[in-house]
Chain A
């Protein structure tokens, strides 16, 4: 059991903590995630005495401090000498592209790092904790990977892929075709959905058949999948599916579900048929005879309905896709678009007695507070006016003059208020004000249109005849469906009763009942 678990992808079973040479996601701040392949410290790495180091604006984090810790651990920043290293390397004229130790660049620079390790076989410096700065190290999941992955194409984000996988019934044990692997976010999510164990020799388990047209992306993806321990669950092919179709080594993947993220899904759709589609000129309706070539193999599972989803940003693509689907026999065609919104919670603090924090609105909280304040100003003004020497001029004039003064005074008062009122209010700042939610500053209003469709199993006259023979009609005894609930409930109760009796009974009584039933049905 142990060796098996060791090979399981960290995406599917991350284990209790971080491991060397495995992927981890560093959470720098709320939405700032960075994937890293943690390396054991074997010596100087890239000029760092501590081995490989991740440098962030929250401090420097040697990999050694993040290895073999439980997932989710908060990691303190370490005191790492970044300055002298940079200077030294510059003097040596070595390219220091590795400053940002992202997962991708880390891999690229492995060779040069190995060289660096060789010439300085000194002991690894123990990391020293810094006084401030921390990050969290999280286990990789498709969601975290989607937000942190190196972009190559437009990414299918979680709101879309979660809905798609739900709708196309991708379940443990399913086989899924994905065309247009792109950056691999959907690939990772779909592997998780269909995974039901790694296949042993000749065993059929949940699997993803992925196709990518772009060669560079294909190689990058291939590398990523093997780094993530997913290469046995994803079969990646470099192919143009419009012309090449979806067969793998001439064999059918027997797909239960299909996801097409292609610019022209309608050009790939005809490969996803049950039998060889006839190419017909316009407006000639199905007169052509079935001219099936024997070598044509359907990539779909012949024993199930196939669920399909296409992902297209433009409505023109959708209309063409839907039109092609209708002609190829797809049913239940449904077009949706997903609008996802993230909400931020904060506390809305309004009031005259609050301190001048950022985000605090120092205006009256309600009419009462405004009234109190106004009355206060009025009183003060009157006191001021009543003072001898001030009341010489006309009332009107002084009114106009005094107002701004009063205002200033009031403002001054306001600023003093917190210090005096603080003790009386006594609430902590994180409890003050009203809890509110608001949308994020920028929302994605459109990602793509999702077109869903289902292709039922092939059903021939022979199949129908066989089924009709297996399930002959004419012995109907009761009516179900449009009967009312009370009757149905009663029936069910009787059924359960019967079942209970049955299971607890001795053979003889069972036989007796069987005989009775045979009589009834006969």
Chain B
């Protein structure tokens, strides 16, 4: 993934001002960077990521800017000059070290000017209002005429500054940086992966949408949740149920096949799910691709600018268009997730024309899956759109998340009998009746049966439990989540809960405090007398014991903060300002399987007076 910029890929454009623009690179369009200029999108398609491009001046007979790759020698020209300057106390790392030479040596003109002009003193006080002799009109004029990607403007600005010789090297560097940010016409194309996207969403878009989740927190939650690839895809066999078979033909859940599944509660609009999917290898489309095929596909897309976002075309191994399978089935209107997913599988196998799966075939992998429990009737995973996955789309092109992402509501999990789509038995009809129906009615019939089978499977497999971990970033009370999620976890499974502020996590941690635990195991809770371990696991909680305090081990809360540094010759220090707001905290623990009966801790404890008193009512 992410080798070269593909047609219709979502990317982040990093601008000199430090801001990022997230957009889709549609072939045959003009990408506008606002004041920095505009260029044809085809000039970046097929090029590598992370290169720095510079907008060149418009050629007289062209109405767009061409772009060129900026070499790193140009990028760092000033730094190299500083390092070479006498008196620099942090000289270049080993002067005779290996160097990658620039292919062509276009010098950044300021460097030459600078070494001579600056005065290294801070005796003179510089007026706050920069003594810039160029007027705004003149600057605009300079920008309009060809100006060597903004470098001329910057040079002129510096030279026209009357107090330039009074600036210290530090303030000069700052001034130059400020002007460079404003006028230099460079940009960099970054792939939209979770790290880039989260940074952009946090710093430039709506940070509350992702619950102020910083990169540090995404890393911590993923690691402490032990989220990783959970095994090769395992699909249940198609039961080949005929249309007159009902519930009895549904596949039962085979618990022995279920492994590598993570339970998620996500109120970050899907960022958490994306981060987990990335760690499990199901976020990006496979690009098994060698050179030629992919590029051919690239040119194919180019000719049809309207059909953006159709990964079929960027997928070299999917030569079969959607039509054949659909027509086989007879009801073209209702192509949906199932057939698509099925088709995707068939891609890998030699036989292309796989018969259409029956209504009760389960498209979901039994391993390496993410189960999202949501509070609304539909999950809010809108941010997954940036990775080409739209959970609301009934007719979805192939995507790895399709058969690895399961979602159900709290109602379906806890009271499935109240959920209509779970508890209504599937429709049945004999083939003859079916044939007499109109295609649209037939389509609806199949759609309902398929939905029934899918929901049945999701709910039953989730309620079967044995999840490998629980990861959570939710605005709901974590105690209530844990009450219902803990029984579903396998023994030893990790729990990682993110919260922007510490209070809710502290409350969870308090539920597992030593005094609570001691009181619980010492038999001073009358309500739990005589309950078996299974009943205790599903303890519904009371005021004094909101959760069974023996179900989690090693409960701890932590927070992490990355402090960024500026590293320049002679000017190395931590950044002066950084994003404030919510720090972000992570609660981690492991699911324990308490032993049957009373277990006393080792050691000679003086039994506390109050404990015995608390025990007396029993």
Report which A residues bind B (CB closer than 8 A).
1, 5, 12-14, 16-17, 27, 30-31, 57-59, 69-77, 131-134, 136-139, 141-143, 158-159, 161-167, 169, 171-173, 189, 192-193, 195-197, 206, 266, 270, 273, 275, 277-283, 285-288, 303-305, 315, 318-324, 326-347, 355, 357, 418, 422, 428-431, 435-437, 449, 451, 454-457, 459, 464, 467-468, 470-483, 495, 498-500, 502-504, 506-507, 514, 517-518, 521
Contact = CB atoms under 8 A, between A and B. Distances in A.
B42 A473 contact: yes
A343 B503 CA distance: 11
A336 B560 CA distance: 12
Contacts of B188: 331-332
Given A355-B609, A470-B46, A339 B84 contact: no
Contacts of A499: 307, 309-310
Interface string B460-495: 000000100000000000000000000000111110
B572 A315 contact: yes
Interface of A is mostly: mixed
A286 B97 contact: no
Contacts of A280: 96, 98-99, 101
A58 B101 contact: no
A479 B595 contact: no
A468 B298 CA distance: 12
Given A13-B260, A476-B40, A503-B335, A279 B90 contact: no
A34 to B, nearest CB: 13
B409 interface: no
Contacts of A14: 492
Given A435-B510, A471-B43, A502-B307, 13 more contacts: A131-B600, A134-B599, A162-B216, A163-B220, A169-B195, A192-B226, A196-B281, A279-B99, A319-B572, A323-B92, A327-B76, A422-B613, A503-B335
Given A13-B259, A161-B223, A479 B572 contact: no
Contact of A459 (B21, B47, B490, B492): B47
20 contacts: A16-B491, A76-B595, A132-B603, A138-B590, A139-B492, A143-B224, A163-B219, A172-B229, A206-B229, A266-B97, A277-B98, A277-B99, A303-B3, A305-B49, A318-B572, A435-B510, A467-B46, A472-B42, A478-B30, A481-B38
A507 B259 CA distance: 43
Contacts of B28: 475-477, 521
B438 interface: no
B256 to A, nearest CB: 9
B351 interface: no
Contacts of A273: 98, 100
A246 to B, nearest CB: 15
Nearest to B194: A166
B73 interface: yes
Contacts of B557: 342-345, 437
Contact of B96 (A167, A172, A279): A279
Contact of A342 (B218, B280, B558): B558
Interface string B221-245: 0111010111110100000000000
Nearest to B583: A341
Contacts of A138: 492, 553, 590
B31 A141 contact: no
A501 to B, nearest CB: 11
B538 interface: no
A326 B80 contact: yes
B10 to A, nearest CB: 12
A69 to B, nearest CB: 8
Interface stretch (B138-146, B169-177, B371-379, B511-519): B511-519
B527 interface: no
Nearest to B230: A13
A313 B600 CA distance: 45
Contacts of B335: 503-504
A277 B100 contact: yes
Contact of A470 (B101, B220, B295, B603): B295
A349 to B, nearest CB: 11
B195 to A, nearest CB: 6
Contacts of B599: 74, 76, 132, 134
Give the size range of B's interface with the partner.
Answer: 35 or more
Contact of B228 (A162, A192, A347, A483): A192
Contact of B220 (A13, A162, A323, A464): A162
A187 to B, nearest CB: 14
A510 to B, nearest CB: 8
Contacts of A278: 98-101
Interface in B2-46: 2-4, 7, 13, 21, 23-24, 26-34, 38, 40-43, 45-46
A285 B105 contact: yes
Nearest to B585: A343
Contacts of A478: 26, 29-30
Contact of A72 (B513, B515, B593): B593
B49, B466, B559: which has the most chain A beta carbons within 10 Å?
Answer: B559
A163 B90 contact: no
B240 to A, nearest CB: 22
A470 B300 CA distance: 10
Contacts of A355: 609-610
A141 B602 contact: no
A471 B45 contact: yes
B535 interface: no
B215 A327 contact: no
